[in-house]
């Protein structure tokens, strides 16, 4: 127990009522009775647990499985993942022990989801929350954490777990530097597996009437699979426990060197075995790879309507492989840890998948089919009209008048001296700037425009009269209009463009209808 004003990490040595072997430390702990969710919640924290168990009949049929395949959908928790369970449990137990008090700071090293759960609890309970997070974790996770009021410290993805620069090492350093701070430490906290022993496993057993033949879960801290395995084996001793471990992680075989290098799936796998990982409870390990994991995650969305994340894809891909040995009348339950919310710009995005060579065959065929509609047609075949432009030195009033006269909602902005493209002005942004008092009708266009950066390091998308319509259609998936340009000059530092036309989806739709 720490004295007033000290910083501390929670030790798994609290005096408590039970010492069941739910984690390798065999630390004493308390258990909680599973209770139904109330009709009216006292706070959003009461919407953690009691997640649905859903049949994956379409996937099971397409994969020719004879057994029942059920998914425990943990993304229905308040914060969107299975980690909400351990976050609230670690916080509540720390409060009971007097380790966490009002005004204290919670610090945690996490791949994102535990951090979101802790930030959620901190927002409701009023704690300061600092999360250390490896750089590979998605932008969406960072945005959610910031939205919940957490402070973020990014760390190198390739830093070894015991390095001072790792997310664990940085969390420990901050804990020493910040008074009244606590590391709840999901990697060593006995209430990580206990939360699943008391909650997740009990919910599954209750739903399945204590009849489970196989349970499949991804492994990271190991808390989920350890808690599940201990409770389910007590009531279903013949149940096969299958652990999912990505290629590049050592959890399946700590004695063997990790092969495959870095992996893209988030939230599972490590380069060390946490204290909360009870490997002796796992009957079988399955190694998964990025591409089939992300392809399966997309299939979960498309075929089952489950908006699950990449590690859910890994779990289901592994579950299907393992469940082939089960016959009719048998039951396999797989844990879906989190939702697609955290990965909208990653595996859900065709461009990201294609860039990393992960695009699935079905999506690739659909892409080719759509492209074939356009043949070799280019923007030149649209016979586009000359661009209506405005100089950056003109007034916002003039820009609005030109857009009203032409029925436009945006205009390319050019330099009054060189005629080169500088950016774009939109009705929406002019309205926003003026209504917020940041500009007025007499402000220059350069004060209300979106400026393009066309240096070699930027992501400026060059579109010309020779750009294929199939490529333009893809561009319109994330944009409402395309400024067609012509190169004026090229240097190492800058590419100058002249706007020649503006085309919209209506233009290519009209072309498609007239040439169908």
What secondary structure does DSSP assign to 436-465, as a single string? TTS--TTSBGGGTSEEP--STTS------T
Question: Are 408 and 420 part of one and the same domain?
Answer: yes
Decide if 30 is inside a domain.
no
- Same domain membership, residue 265 and residue 246: yes
Report how far residue 390's alpha carbon sits from residue 385's, in angstroms, rounded to the nearest whole number.
16
**Contact of 174 with 153, CB cutoff 8 Å:** yes
- 369 three-state secondary structure: helix
Task: Mark whether 83 is an active-site residue.
Answer: yes
410 within domain boundaries: yes
**Number of separate domains in the chain:** 3
The answer to whether 323 and 333 have CB atoms below 8 angstroms apart is no
- Domain boundary residue among 155, 183, 211? 183
CATH number of residue 486's parent domain: 3.10.580.10
Are 424 and 452 in a shared domain? yes
Which of 72, 83, 172, 446 is an active site residue?
Answer: 83
Report the alpha-carbon distance of residue 212 to residue 215 in Å, rounded: 7
Question: DSSP letters of 122-140?
Answer: HHHHT-EEEEEEETTS-HH
Residue 363 lies inside a defined structural domain of this protein: no
Same domain, 120 and 134: yes
**pTM (predicted TM-score):** 0.73
Count Cα atoms within 13 angstroms, Cβ side, for 394: 19
| 201 and 308, same domain (yes or no) | yes
CATH number at residue 290: 3.40.50.1100
* Alpha carbon 478 to chain centroid, angstroms: 19
Is residue 175 situated within a structural domain?
yes
Taking CA atoms, 457 is separated from 47, 65, 453, in Å, by: 45, 49, 9
Residues 70 and 113 in one domain: no
Question: In angstroms, how far is CA 342 from the centroid of its own chain?
Answer: 2
Do 198 and 340 belong together in one domain? yes
Kindly state whether residue 44 falls inside one of the protein's structural domains: no
Does 98 map to a domain?
Answer: yes
Domain that holds residue 314: 49-79+193-355
Which of 323, 355, 387 corresponds to the end of one domain? Answer: 355
Same domain, 268 and 330: yes
Residues 341 and 389 in one domain: no
Q: What is the DSSP string of 402-437?
A: HHHHHT-SEEEEE-TTT--EEEEEEHHHHHHHHHTT
| 35 within a domain of the structure (yes/no) | no
End position of a domain, from candidates 291, 321, 355: 355
Helix (H, G, I), strand (E, B) or coil at 491: coil
User: One digit per residue, pLDDT tens: the chain, 516 residues?
Assistant: 233 344 444 444 334 456 566 666 667 788 899 999 999 999 999 999 999 999 999 999 999 999 999 999 999 999 999 999 999 999 999 999 999 999 999 999 887 899 999 999 999 999 999 999 888 778 888 899 999 999 999 888 777 777 888 888 999 999 999 999 999 999 999 999 999 999 999 999 999 999 999 999 999 999 999 999 999 999 999 999 999 999 999 999 887 666 767 889 999 998 889 999 999 999 999 999 999 999 999 999 999 999 999 999 999 999 999 999 999 999 999 999 999 999 998 999 888 888 888 876 666 677 777 777 888 899 999 999 999 999 999 999 999 999 999 888 889 999 988 888 998 898 888 988 888 888 899 999 999 998 876 443 345 688 999 999 888 888 887 777 899 999 886 665 667 889 999 998 888 888 888 886
Kindly state whether residue 330 falls inside one of the protein's structural domains. Answer: yes
Residues 321 and 252 in one domain: yes
* Whether residue 202 is found in the same domain as residue 310: yes
Distance CA 425, CA 388 (A): 12
Q: Are residues 152 and 222 in the same domain?
A: no
């Amino acid at each position: 127990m720490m004295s007033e004003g000290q910083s501390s990490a929670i030790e798994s040595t609290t005096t408590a009522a039970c010492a069941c072997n739910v984690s390798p430390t065999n630390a004493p702990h308390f258990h909680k009775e599973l209770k139904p969710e109330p009709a009216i919640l006292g706070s959003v924290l009461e919407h953690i647990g009691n997640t649905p168990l859903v049949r994956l009949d379409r996937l099971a049929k397409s994969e020719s499985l004879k057994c029942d395949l059920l998914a425990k959908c943990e993304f229905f928790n308040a914060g969107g993942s299975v980690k909400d369970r351990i976050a609230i449990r670690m916080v509540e137990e720390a409060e009971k022990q007097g380790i966490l008090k009002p005004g204290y700071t919670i610090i945690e090293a996490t791949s994102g989801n535990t951090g979101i759960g802790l930030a959620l609890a901190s927002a409701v309970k009023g704690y300061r929350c600092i999360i250390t997070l490896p750089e590979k974790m998605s932008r969406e996770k960072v945005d959610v954490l910031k939205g919940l009021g957490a402070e973020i410290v990014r760390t190198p993805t390739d830093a070894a777990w015991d390095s001072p620069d790792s997310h664990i090492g940085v969390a420990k350093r901050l804990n020493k530097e910040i008074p009244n701070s606590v590391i709840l430490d999901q990697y060593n906290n006995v209430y990580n597996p206990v939360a699943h022993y008391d909650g997740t496993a009990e919910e599954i057993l209750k739903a399945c009437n204590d009849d489970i033949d196989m349970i499949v879960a991804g492994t990271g801290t190991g808390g989920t699979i350890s808690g599940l395995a201990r409770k389910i084996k007590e009531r279903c001793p013949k149940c096969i426990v299958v652990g999912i471990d990505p290629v590049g992680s050592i959890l399946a075989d700590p004695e063997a060197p990790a092969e495959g290098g870095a992996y893209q799936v988030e939230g599972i796998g490590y380069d060390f075995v946490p204290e909360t990982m009870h490997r002796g409870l796992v009957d079988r390990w399955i190694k998964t790879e990025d591409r089939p994991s992300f392809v399966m995650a997309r299939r979960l969305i498309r075929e089952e309507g489950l908006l699950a994340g990449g590690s859910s894809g890994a779990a289901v891909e592994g579950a299907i492989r393992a469940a082939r040995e089960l016959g009719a009348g048998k039951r396999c339950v797989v844990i879906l840890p989190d939702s697609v919310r955290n990965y909208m710009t990653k595996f859900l995005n065709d461009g990201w998948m294609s860039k990393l060579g992960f695009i699935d065959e079905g999506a690739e065929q659909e892409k080719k089919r759509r492209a074939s509609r356009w043949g070799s047609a280019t923007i030149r075949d649209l016979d586009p009209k000359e661009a209506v432009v405005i100089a950056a030195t003109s007034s916002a009033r003039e820009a609005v008048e030109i857009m009203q006269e032409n029925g436009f909602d945006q205009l390319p902005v050019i330099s009054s001296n060189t005629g080169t493209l500088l950016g774009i002005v939109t009705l929406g942004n002019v309205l926003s700037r003026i209504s917020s008092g940041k500009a007025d009708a007499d402000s220059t266009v350069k004060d209300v425009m979106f400026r393009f950066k066309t240096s070699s390091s930027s992501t400026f998308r060059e579109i010309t009269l020779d750009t294929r319509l199939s490529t333009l259609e893809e561009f319109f998936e994330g944009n409402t209009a395309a400024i067609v340009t012509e190169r004026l000059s090229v240097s190492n530092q800058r590419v100058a463009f002249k706007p020649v036309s503006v085309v919209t989806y209506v233009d290519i739709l009209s072309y498609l209808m007239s040439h169908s």
